[in-house]
Amino acid sequence: MTSPRDELLSLATPYALDAVDDAERAEIDRRVRAADAETSAAFAGEVRQVREAMALVAGTTAAEPPAQLRDRVLAAVSAEQTGQVRQLRAPRRRWTTAAVAAAAAVVIGVGTFGIGYWLRPAPTVTTAEQIFAAPDVRTVSGQIPTGGTATVVFSRERNAGVLVMNNVEPPATGTVYQMWLIDTEGPHSAGVMDAGAIAPSTTAVLPDLGSSTTLAFTVEPGAGSQRPTTTPFASLPLS
Amino acid sequence: MLPAVTAPAPARLRSVTADLDALLRRVAQRDVDAFAEFYDQTRARVYGLVTRVLRDPGYSEETTQDIYLQVWRNASDYNPSAGTPLSWLMTVAHRRAVDRVRSEQAATDRESRYGAATVELPVDQVAEGVLEREEYRQVATCLGTLTDRQRECIQLAYYEGLTYVQVSDRLSANLATVKSRMRDAIRGLRNCLDAA
């Protein structure tokens, strides 16, 4: 018969390899906390040994990520750092036509529309921190066809996101960029950016994601519209 | 499967991570430049592992990004007495990748979504200068000392995201056997690395 101590220690390697499900991980954590000091130290020691070994093994599976990933990562981090993103060197790339067409297809077939939020010039650190601290924080990113990058760092749990736009051209005189959160009911305005709001790096809070699945960008006349009047020039899937 | 290279090699392990500790401390102080340097020194290992697990470039990029955001948020959690910075990072990375692959699998049948998309990363994708060649050879050699059954367990659990219970089902082996194979695999690996 295996002792409870040995049984627990036999789980150290699967635990350290993430080869347990969430429920079992929580149960193991509980048992390790409840165990005597010697047992929990032995468990921790074995976990550490497994992780050190696998960190070395990761050297054999190394692969270069795409270069633009670096821009996105640094943009998102900078957004949290200051609420005002420093300018990053971002190569200009073209959004694929297919992506734009897909965005347009999503926007058509409208239902009801909401009155949007005016964007704040920069997120408060608190809001950004809440999003970044969320256990379900996610990031999506894409290139704007006219140049620049848009990145959204968001959390469903916090029901909010931070939009970071890098090296995006300002909208033409007399127009604004308007953001739309699209759910099954259609697009809801998530705010506008005029030429004055577009810095080399611009951040803004998306305070209410609701059940939206897409963030789309359109050019709108004047100070913005209650519904999109032009085809989105870019969109990001919020999934 | 894990690479099973048998070339002998001198040991020079852990050198790549020598200054990660200092960088991580600066990252904890919200130093963006240190973070960028940390990213550059570790990105290939992280992305490579994530790609191995997720086997989809889009998911892998998103997950890698999420991992580094987590690093930025939690750098102050790193405790040098509990392990090396690289081990801390790869633990964060692996957990995140496994969480993602499991959530994708929960939504989609693995065979249809992942079965055809399997990508075996050839080792020559490793970026020049990213890794110490000797270290690579050393680790690969030690992986080659594992038995096929041990490697199979590590492959299924670590790279395919299966729990040890699922590995046991997949291999029709009992749970105790699977747990010991995993444990023996790691011990064999460590003994080999330590002997180098």
Which pLDDT tens digit goes with each residue over B63-94?
999 999 999 999 999 988 888 999 999 999 99
pLDDT in the model for residue B51: 95
Predicted ipTM of the assembly: 0.83
Summary mean pLDDT of chain A: 76
Question: Which helix (H) or strand (E) element contains residue A38?
Answer: helix A37-57
Q: How far is A187 from chain B (nearest CA, A)?
A: 25
| pLDDT (mean) for A18-28 | 96
Which of A173, A159, A78, A158 lies closest to A122, judged by CA? A78
pLDDT over 70 (residue B146): yes
Contact A139 B69 (CB under 8 A): yes
Query: Counting one residue from A and one from B, how many pairs have CB atoms under 8 Å apart?
Result: 182
Contact: B66, A139; criterion CB under 8 Å = yes
Domain ranges of chain B: 1-128, 145-196
Which of the pair, B43 or A222, is modelled with greater confidence?
A: B43
Burial class of B31 by CB neighbour count within 10 A (0 to 12, 13 to 18, 19+): middle
Choose among A139, A119, A141: nearest CA to A193.
Answer: A119
| Residues of chain A positioned with their CB less than 8 A from the CB of B14 | 56
DSSP 8-state secondary structure symbol assigned to residue A231: -
Nearest to A158 by CA among A92, A206, A119: A206
- Interface list for A 176-215 with B (CB within 8 A): none
Whole-angstrom distance, CA of residue B41 vs CA of residue B38: 5
Q: Under 8 Å CB-to-CB from A164, ≥6 apart: which residues? A: A75, A76, A78, A79, A85, A149, A150, A151, A152, A153, A201, A202, A203
The percent of residues above 70 in pLDDT, for chain B, comes to: 77
For the four alpha carbons of A48, B1, B181 and A6, in that order, the dihedral sign comes to positive
Q: Confirm if B135 and B86 have CB atoms less than 8 A apart.
A: no
pLDDT of B119 above 90: no
Please judge whether B139 and A18 are an interchain contact, meaning their C-beta atoms are less than 8 angstroms apart.
no
Inter-chain touch B39–A70, beta carbons under 8 Å: yes
Question: Residue A21 and residue B47: Cβ atoms within 8 Å?
Answer: no
Cα B39 to Cα B23: distance, rounded to the nearest angstrom: 10
For residue B135, the chain A residues in CB contact (below 8 A) are 56, 59
CB–CB contact A56 B140 (8 Å): no
> Rounded to whole angstroms, what are the CA distances from B3 to A59, B54, B137?
11, 18, 10
Please state which architecture CATH assigns to domain B145-196.
Orthogonal Bundle (1.10)
Cβ distance of B186 and A50 shorter than 8 Å: yes
Whether B173 has a pLDDT exceeding 90, the answer reads: yes
Query: Is-contact A71 A93, C-beta < 8 A?
Result: no
Fold of B1-128: Rna Polymerase Sigma Factor; Chain: A (1.10.1740)
**CATH 1.10.10.1320 domain span(s) along chain A:** 4-60
Residues in A 71-90 with any Cβ partner in B closer than 8 A: 72-74, 76-78, 80-81, 86
CATH code that applies to domain A4-60: 1.10.10.1320
SS3 content of chain B, % helix, strand, coil (to 5): 75, 0, 25
Provide the pLDDT confidence category of residue A25 given band limits of 50, 70 and 90: very high
Q: What is the pTM of this model?
A: 0.61
In chain B, pLDDT over 90 holds for what percent of residues? 56
The distance of A222 to chain B (nearest Cα, Å) reads 35
Contact check, Cβ <8 Å, A74/B16: no
- Interchain contact B171–A (C-beta under 8 A): no
Give the other-Cβ count within 10 Å of A187's Cβ: 28
Q: Is A136 part of the contact surface with chain B (CB cutoff 8 Å)? A: no
Q: Which of residues 33-72 of B touch A (CB under 8 A)?
A: 35-36, 39-40, 43-49, 51-52, 57, 60-62, 64-66, 68-70, 72
pLDDT value of position B176: 96
